[in-house]
Structure 1
Amino acid sequence: MYLTQYLHRALQQHPEKVAVCFGSRQRTFREFADRVARLAGALQRIGMGDGDRVAMLALNSDRYLEYQMAVPWGGGVLNPCNTRWSVPELVYALEDSGTAILLVDDAFIAAAGQLLRDAACLRQVVYCGEGEAPAGMLDYETLVRETAPVDDAARRGEDLLGIFYTGGTTGFPKGVMRSHIGSGIAALSLLSMGLAETGETYLHAAPMFHVADFGAALPHWIVGNTHAIIPGFQPQAVLKAIEAHRVTSTLLVPTMIQMVVDHPAIQDGYDLRSLKTIAYGASPVSESVLERTQKVLPGVGLVQLYGMTEIGPLTVNPPDYRPGMLPLAGKLTAAGRTSNCVELKIVDAHGQEVPRGTVGEIVVRGDTLMQGYWNKPEQTAEAIRNGWYYTGDGGYFDEDGYLFIADRVKDMIVSGGENVYSAEVENAILKHRAVAACAVIAIPHAQWGEAVHAEVVLAPGQTLSAAELIAHCKTLIAGYKCPVSVAFVDDLPISGAGKVLKNRLREPYWKDVKRCIA
């Protein structure tokens, strides 16, 4: 099993079918496959060898889809870059993975210059925007046009497909190694649970660098569906794309769903009758948002996915779910049932399975599991024990086999669909000379689900404002990771073992809030 085999099948079965729509551009599977084979050859020509990492830092586009297929077609390994990261974070991921080739679009030309200066591993930058290639960069369209197509390298099975960087509990991102077969099995699992049917059109509205959109699109590749793409999420752009391309399926994080259904433009008469399914997950979701969505988009199936970069989808709530439907009444905030290709259980602190209804840590195993964290054997060994991946999330099964997420074992904050690890934020805060100690926690946020909050102890004789501290953080980490609020305190609650008691810090913020995690 390998990623590009889906493209081969589509080329065989319906070569003249539209494969991708982006703006005014449409390409058939025949045209798309030809460009993929040419781009693969071009990447080989500029230095991509077997197993070499190739990064892309860009907004959503048809060229992003070509990158996703061309890199493995040419024998390389994907390294999609988070567009919200700061330059130091990007440099770390590029150097950690040893990436030598980077593709950038118009939005990241300035960042590319800094990355070339600071990331010693980078040798080539390819401009994949809409204008003229800046000096010192290779032009994407010229490379595709002037390179002959090459045969598919057909990396497969346990061969590495991509390194997907996620936030690190140690303060540094971790590169999750996903294989071709692991990603393929995850796609088949979603396909078997109703996430794609032949003849659909999938809309890439969530960031294409994110494994959530990548994974949600894979079952549509298997059955040869059309991919519609918008550069980035905007509520009205989603509505326009659904109408223009007769979109049937998309993936949005709950914040995006809320912004779509609450946007005034939804009353403008857009024809949304083609839309059958919205998959969602990646962040906390409220019952009120789901209920409003069903009122505004009656007949649209809401599919809740609970998963993670390390292993793909763990649970799925079925696409025929409607609030109040029996036998699913009361399951609105459930994460769903275990997906078809993994085994999941709830364990106590000693690794022993607990009875249904009892909260414990969620652990999972299966062939979709990552190969490990790139260059981090100790963290890999800590996360994967006896073949089981310890998620760090707490939850319980009800009597019907539905998983409910109770809280997080790890100190991870999910804000607007993006994972934020408290250690990363704390490391940034502690680099300010006025700070003696700090703790970062999640607090409720009406729009983003959770927000980053810092409790800070100042060094003796020092003064500092919240605005100054937040500005300091923004020089070190991505803006979405920075605190949105800061409380200056005299001390932090400490356990007998010397650990900060974050549950005490969270309590006043969450005592009147039901915490739901998707």
Structure 2
Amino acid sequence: MQITQSLHQAVQSRPDQVATIFGSRTRTVAETADRVARMAGALRELGVVDGERVGIYALNSDRYHELLYAVPWAGGVVNPVNSRWSVTEVAYSLVDCGTDIVLVDDAFAGTVDELRAKAPNLREVIYCGEGETPDGLLSYEDLVAGAELLEDARRRDEDLYGVYYTGGTTGAPKGVMLDHRALLTSAMGCMVTTDMLSRGGVLLHAAPMFHLADGAAWNIANLTHAVHVIVPSFTVAGVVDAIEKHGVTDALLVPTMIQAIVDSPEAATADLTSMQRVMYGASPISESVLNRARATFANARFTQAYGMTELAPVATLLTADDHDVSSLARSAGRAAAHAEVRVVGPDDQTLPRGEVGEIVSRGDHVMQGYWNKPDETAQALAGGWMHTGDAGYMDADGYLFVVDRIKDMVISGGENVYSVEVENALVKHDRIMQAAVVGVPDDTWGERVHAFLILREGEDITLEEVREWCRQHIANYKLPRSIDVVDSFPVSGAGKVLKRELRKEFWGNSDRSIN
């Protein structure tokens, strides 16, 4: 199993089909394959050896698509850099896994001097943007034009494909090592389980291509002969324009993107009828937002994927048909064809159905480990199962319900309060657009439930109103005891709310504890 096989197969069966659309630029499968082989040749000429890491520090583009093939074609390992990180964090990831070559586009070319100062191991920086190549950088297009075609190194199976740095929801980034087998096992398992993307469809890349949520869609789309329509980054206007202009049929969207779309006037008046599939995941979504999304994309079938980078990335799927069952509205679905999933207690023994414990998974989709972190790897993969750090339960029919990140659970007065449950109650209020719930220190209760709220424009709300509203939906001990109204939440590159950042005001930089 090798990632580049899908490109070989496409060249053989459909060389003249459009492969990528980026702005006004369209490239066929044959053109893409030629450029991939030449870029791989250029990387070899620059000294890339088997297993060497190559960083991609850029927004979405057709060149990003090429690099996801070209790096393994040259024998290398991709290091897709989180484009939302500070230069210090980027440098850390490059140094940590020994990435000596990195590609930057217009958005990040201005950081190169600082990057070189903080990552002295860098020997080459390649400019893959749209303008003139800055002084001191190599030109992507010149490299492609001047390189010889290279035979595919055919890295495969247990050969490392990528080092994906987790995005900082729980502390220092860790490099997740994923091989070709894991990524293709996950992609093919998804395809067998449900029709989450259209065959021969048109896939929109609006989520960041550095993140494995989009990477999963990329892999499946390559296997199902899709056209890749790529926008540099997410904007509602950009998404709407791409759907209307290119007849987009499929999209991977994280919940924050979906919320922005359903709240926008652009989407309300746009022709979105070409959309057939929407895949979502990476963070929780409220029932109200999901219902509005299904109305906005009225012709589309929705699939939810649950997993994490360490699972390449899918463990369970809530299919389009499952979305029509009201009792499954909060479910993350059942185990995909390639994954075993259990809910376990502190002793790692499987819990009875309905009991909350930690979600674990095993199979060929599981990571090799964390780069250069043997202790963390051993802990995460104890007993051969990936311990997700998520709390959940499984019902009698095998449907998984994720109730919280274990570290985000609030213990107030000895009672467990799952933040997601409180957030779901809050966003049902017509004045509350988004909510994030954390535990903060309290002298009486140990921890109290604290809610950060983003309100709809021009609205206001009091704690008493919030508590009275929530009382209709959840138990008294789960009610927020304090609130903050804010303009925005800190989020990771995948759109996950960084609750550790929200907690800092109350707990400081120390590890979260209970009074």
SS at match of 1:107: coil
The letter of the residue matching 2:328 is K
Deviation at 1:299?
A: 2.7
Partners of 2:198 and 2:268 lie apart in 1 by 29
1:339 matched to which residue of 2?
A: 336
In structure 1, C-alpha distance between the alignment counterparts of 2:241 and 2:304, rounded to whole Å: 24
Distance (whole Å) between structure 2 residues aligned to residue 169 and residue 267 of structure 1: 33
Q: 1:385 aligns with which of 382, 392, 403?
A: 382
Mark the CA change 1:447 to 1:127 in structure 2 (over 3 Å): closer, same or farther. farther
Is the contact made by 1:40 and 1:71 (CA closer than 8 Å) also made in structure 2? yes
Q: Give how far 1:319 is off.
A: 2.5
Distance 2:370 2:357 in 1: 24
Determine if contact 1:103/1:126 at 8 Å carries over to the other structure.
Answer: yes
Distance in 1, matches of 2:504 and 2:177, equals 35
Q: Note closer, same or farther for the CA distance 1:242–1:87 as it changes in structure 2 (3 Å cut).
A: same
* Matching of residues 408-423 of structure 1 within 5 Å: 408-411=405-408
CA 1:335/1:482 → structure 2, altered by over 3 Å: closer, same or farther? Answer: closer
Contact 1:125/1:137, CA 8 A, preserved across alignment: yes
| CA shift for structure 1 position 443 | 4.5
Give 2:48's aligned amino acid.
Answer: M
Instruction: Name the aligned partner's letter for residue 410 of structure 1.
Output: K
RMSD between aligned residues: 2.9
Size of the aligned set, in residue pairs, is 444
Deviation at 1:117, TM superposition (A): 1.4
Q: How much does 1:195 deviate?
A: 1.9
Mean alpha-carbon deviation: is it higher for 270-279 or for 117-126? 270-279
Q: Which residue does the alignment assign to 1:14?
A: 14
Quote the offset at 1:488 in angstroms. 5.8
Counterpart for residue 513 of structure 2: 500
Whether the aligned pair in 2 keeps the contact of 1:255 and 1:447 (CA below 8 Å) is no
Deviations along 1:96-124, one digit per CA (max 9) or x if unpaired, are: 11001000001101212211111011000
CA contact (8 A) 2:198 2:250 kept: no
Give the letter for the 2:121 counterpart: C
Match of 1:247 in 2: 248
The amino acid across from 2:343 in the alignment is I
With over 3 angstroms needed to count, the CA separation of the structure-2 counterparts of 1:499 and 1:281, relative to structure 1, is closer
| Counterpart amino acid of residue 241 in structure 1 | A
Is 2:169–2:499's contact at 8 Å kept on the other side of the alignment? no
Q: Which runs of 5+ in 2 are unaligned?
A: 410-418, 424-435, 439-446, 457-483, 485-495
3-state SS of paired residue (1:149)? coil
Identity of paired residues, percent? 48
Letter in 1 for 2:305: L
Residue 445 of structure 1 and its aligned partner are, at CA, apart by 4.3
What is the rounded CA distance, in whole Å, between the counterparts of 2:408 and 2:205 in structure 1?
Answer: 30
Alpha-carbon distance, 1:161 to partner:
0.2
Deviation per residue, 1:128-161 (Å, 9 max, x gap): 1111111110001000011111110000010000
1:458-497 alignment to 2 at 5 Å?
A: 483=501, 487=505
Letter in 1 for 2:219: L
TM-score, scaled to structure 1: 0.81
CA shift at 1:251, angstroms? 0.7
Deviations 1:58-113 (A, max 9, x none): 11000100111100011000000001111111111000110010000011012122
Alpha-carbon distance in 2 for matches of 1:119, 1:61: 25
Q: Is 1:357 aligned to residue 354 of structure 2? A: yes
Q: Secondary structure at the match of 2:342?
A: strand
Aligned positions of 1:184-199 closer than 5 A: 184-192=184-192, 193-199=194-200
Q: Provide closer, same or farther for how the CA distance between residues 250 and 485 of structure 1 changes in structure 2, counting only shifts above 3 A.
A: same
Equivalent in the alignment of 1:286: 286
What letter matches 2:213 in structure 1? A
Task: Give me the whole-angstrom Cα distance separating, in 1, the residues matched to 2:501 and 2:139.
Answer: 39
Unaligned runs of 5+ in 1: 423-438, 449-465, 467-477, 505-518
Write out the 4+ residue segments of structure 1 that deviate beyond 6 Å after TM superposition.
412-415, 439-442, 478-482
- 1:6–1:321 Cα change, 3 Å: same
Match of 1:234 in 2: 235
The match for 1:403 is: 400
1:263 to 2:276 alignment: no
Residue aligning to 1:162: 162
CA displacement at 1:342 relative to structure 2: 0.7
TM-score (norm 2): 0.81
Counterpart CA distance in 2 for 1:212 and 1:149 is: 31
Counterpart CA distance in 1 for 2:405 and 2:124 is: 41
Match of 1:296 in 2: 296
Q: 1:441 to 1:5 in 2, by over 3 A?
A: farther
State whether residues 243 and 271 of structure 1, in contact with CA within 8 Å, keep that contact through their aligned partners in structure 2: yes
Task: Measure, in 2, the Cα distance between the counterparts of 1:91 and 1:499.
Answer: 27
